[in-house]
Amino acid sequence: MPSVASAFHLPDPVQNRVAHARFRLVGEHVNKRMVFSLILVLSMAHLSLVSLTYAQSVTDLQSERLLALLRKPVDETTRLDWQRVGPDKDTNELLVQVAMNKDQPIVFRGRAIQAMAYFPTKRTHQFLWQATYERDLDNRLKKAALRSLGAAFQHEALFELSAFLTDSSAVIREGAVRGLGLIRDGRARTILENHLDKEENLDVRLATDEALRQVQRWEASQSRRLSAETLDGLPHIGPEELLPLETESAPNTE
């Protein structure tokens, strides 16, 4: 079908004005789309920046709360205190970061490792287990890791901890003993009783005796509950009943 231009011949000046008008309309349309796209991009960038700033402020707030708890002796904090830092997953990750940071005071790193007992996650288990085998890690931190393994993972850590009872370091053996003392399982008592007869280091013997009494107290409380309640009514023994953590003692560097 012939176009308007071919059906009706227009003078050159008129054709030029028509072409210019069409070009101007197309240009205005393109410009509007570009402006709209630019506004959209800037809006998205602003939202991303706001979200990033908000996330950073939340992380900073959580870090401040966590550091405030790390400044306190472990026996002055509770499970609830650590849960108030923020979402468990974030708090757990912050504790791992502090524990791995060699620029942090060793006291803070040790407290962070002990606090991981409140967060028995796969991430926690992986970190604590690797920490016990880290060649360059201070034995005091390994001791804290062994204790937290027992407190957090209970019978799952029973045989993991038992393997460290023959370690050449008294500090490592003490960590294993203290971890076993927090496991609510009759097998832990048997393991501790057998180790008590073999242990030669006085400090570790005292720690073993204390851990053994912890397990025995738990067994006695279970017996009282069994005599007072039906099996269907037994309450669950959770990590919150195993903690708060023990009072910090003087560093042992043996």
Buried b (16+ CB within 10 A) or exposed e, 98-121: bbeeeebeeebbbbbbbbbbbbbe
Residue spans of the chain under pLDDT 50 = 1-10, 14, 18, 23, 25-26, 29-30, 32, 35-36, 39-58, 230-254
pTM higher than the cut 0.85: no
Half-sphere exposure of 113 (CA within 13 A, CB side): 34
Q: Which CATH architecture has domain 117-241?
A: Alpha Horseshoe (1.25)
Read off the DSSP letter of residue 246.
Answer: P
Supply the pLDDT for residue 34.
Answer: 55
Contact 152, 124 (CB under 8 A): yes
Supply the pLDDT for residue 74.
Answer: 78
The predicted-structure confidence for 181-195, as pLDDT tens digits, reads as follows 999 999 999 999 999
The predicted-structure confidence for 27-37, as pLDDT tens digits, reads as follows 554 454 554 45
Which residue ranges make up each domain of the chain? 12-64, 117-241
Supply the pLDDT for residue 30.
Answer: 45
Supply the pLDDT for residue 24.
Answer: 57
Q: How many CB atoms lie within 10 A of CB 203?
A: 15
Supply the pLDDT for residue 16.
Answer: 53
Q: Which long-range contacts (CB under 8 A, 24 or more apart) does 101-109 make?
A: 106/138, 106/140, 106/141, 106/251, 107/248, 108/67, 108/70, 108/71, 109/141
Q: How many CB atoms lie within 10 A of CB 13?
A: 8
Supply the pLDDT for residue 222.
Answer: 85
Supply the pLDDT for residue 61.
Answer: 87
Supply the pLDDT for residue 33.
Answer: 54
3-state DSSP helix/strand/coil percent for the chain, to nearest 5? 75, 0, 25
